[in-house]
Amino acid sequence: MKTLLSLVTLLIAPALGAATFEGTVNFKTTDGKNRAMEMNYSVKDSRMRIDMKGGKDGSGYTVMDMGKMEMMMVMESEKMYMTMSLKDVAEKAAKEVKDEATFEKTNETEKILGYTATKYISTYKGETTDMWLAEGIGSFMMPGENPMAGGRGSAPKGWERALQGKSLFPLRIVSKDKKGKETSRMEVTAIEKKKLPESLFAVPAGYTKFDMGNMGGMLKGLMQGLGR
């Protein structure tokens, strides 16, 4: 779920639909071993900021600017940041997507945090995912792994592929394996419409830009992962 390829593949979709939502969305995710992680999602015009809590990459956040097709990763513990153009990478990722996930709309709806969510079912390589999706918040993207921590790209999950190109936002995602056992769950815990400051999407004062050209073998490994 936290892969760079997942991110850039989803970048091909319209970023925020009609861009009518500005505010924050908080998520809680759990895996099959009941390990939890929180994700805070901030949206303003064509920009998104994702803050992860409980991850392995340390403190920091990711900002996607869909107008510029640019991603910025801010590493607070190192007081550093790095930027990456997503145009060429997104095109490459699109060509790598071969297996399509199914996407079936049901008649079941549920009111979640004031939004009417419709249940969809996605299947991909034997895995079934129940998705409660709502309109009016925009499209959805997952953050990529931090290249500074040695993250390598891999193919996006089936439900992530199913959401590509759709202005639907997940309020609950429940994935199950071939035997019907729950393997992961992602649920929205809070949605707040509000004006967000420009500083939330900017580099903090005093931070140093990390030179991508100095990544050497780490960058080579990342690109090999994207081409896998």
Task: Please state the rounded mean pLDDT for residues 128-145.
Answer: 76
Q: For residue 58, what pLDDT band results from cuts at 50, 70 and 90?
A: low
Q: What is the pLDDT of residues 172-181, one digit of tens each?
A: 999 998 888 9
**For residues 73 and 112, what is the distance between their CA atoms, to the nearest angstrom?**
31
Q: For residue 35, what pLDDT band results from cuts at 50, 70 and 90?
A: confident
Task: Residue 166: name the closest of 2, 18, 4, 3 by CA.
Answer: 18
Out of 25-39, 83-97, 185-199, the most confident range is 185-199
**For residues 200 and 212, what is the distance between their CA atoms, to the nearest angstrom?**
23
| Predicted local distance difference test score (pLDDT) of residue 202 | 93
**For residues 97 and 156, what is the distance between their CA atoms, to the nearest angstrom?**
9
**For residues 105 and 99, what is the distance between their CA atoms, to the nearest angstrom?**
20
Q: Does 87 or 22 have the greater pLDDT score?
A: 22
**For residues 56 and 159, what is the distance between their CA atoms, to the nearest angstrom?**
23
pTM: 0.70
Domains and CATH numbers, the chain: 4-226 (2.50.20.10)
